[in-house]
């Protein structure tokens, strides 16, 4: 579907563009050069005006300070009070979940489950969900 343009046998892309638009590019270049020769004062004035406006923008609009956002963020230390207060509770929950998982694993290895085992299984799963989903 597509052919490679770059090959040693065929001319390059620049040559192909010059063949297609060469006369138009030359004509535009001659017209621009003629305009510059006829109106040098206007071009110089435009150039100075653009540099002056760039200088004004550089030191006024572009130097505006960033807007101040008043978003109040509380640090975790202030939100919980003592940072070590919740660690003991978290460790206790983790140990309880690990003990329940070990018990669940031993129950799941049994070949025949009794109704009491099924009830205990459901209780342990609900307790694990409650321990892992609670925020505090």
Instruction: Please report whether residue 67 resides in a domain.
Output: no
Residue 2 pLDDT: 65
**Sole residue written with tokens 């138009």:** 24
> What are φ and ψ of residue 115, in 5° steps?
-60, -35
How far apart are the C-alpha atoms of 60 and 52, rounded to whole Å?
Answer: 12
pLDDT score recorded for residue 6: 59
pLDDT at 40: 94
Is residue 126 one of the residues assigned to a domain? Answer: yes
In a domain, 22, yes or no: yes
120: containing domain: 84-133
Q: Which residue has the higher pLDDT, 3 or 87?
A: 87
91 shares a domain with 51: no
The span from the CA of 41 to the CA of 46, in Å, is 9
**Nearest CA-CA partner of 118 in 104, 130, 131:** 104
Q: What is the pLDDT of residues 41-100, one digit of tens each?
A: 999 999 999 999 999 888 887 666 666 666 665 655 555 556 666 777 888 888 989 999
pTM: 0.37
- Residue 8 and residue 5: Cα distance in Å, rounded? 10
Cβ atoms 123, 107 nearer than 8 A: no
Please give the pLDDT value at position 52. Answer: 95
CA angle 52, 57, 58 (to 5 degrees): 95
């Amino acid at each position: 579907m597509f052919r490679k343009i770059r090959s040693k046998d065929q001319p390059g892309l620049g040559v192909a563009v010059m063949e297609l638009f060469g006369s138009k590019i030359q004509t535009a270049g001659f017209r621009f050069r003629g305009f510059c020769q006829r109106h040098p004062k206007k071009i110089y004035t435009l150039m100075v005006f653009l540099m002056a406006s760039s200088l004004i923008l550089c030191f006024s609009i572009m130097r505006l300070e960033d807007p101040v956002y008043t978003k109040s963020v509380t640090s975790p230390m202030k939100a919980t009070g003592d940072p070590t207060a919740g660690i003991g509770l978290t460790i206790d929950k983790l140990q309880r979940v690990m003990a329940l998982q070990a018990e669940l694993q031993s129950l799941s290895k049994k070949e025949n489950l009794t109704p009491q085992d099924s009830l205990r299984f459901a209780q342990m799963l609900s307790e694990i969900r409650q321990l892992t989903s609670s925020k505090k």
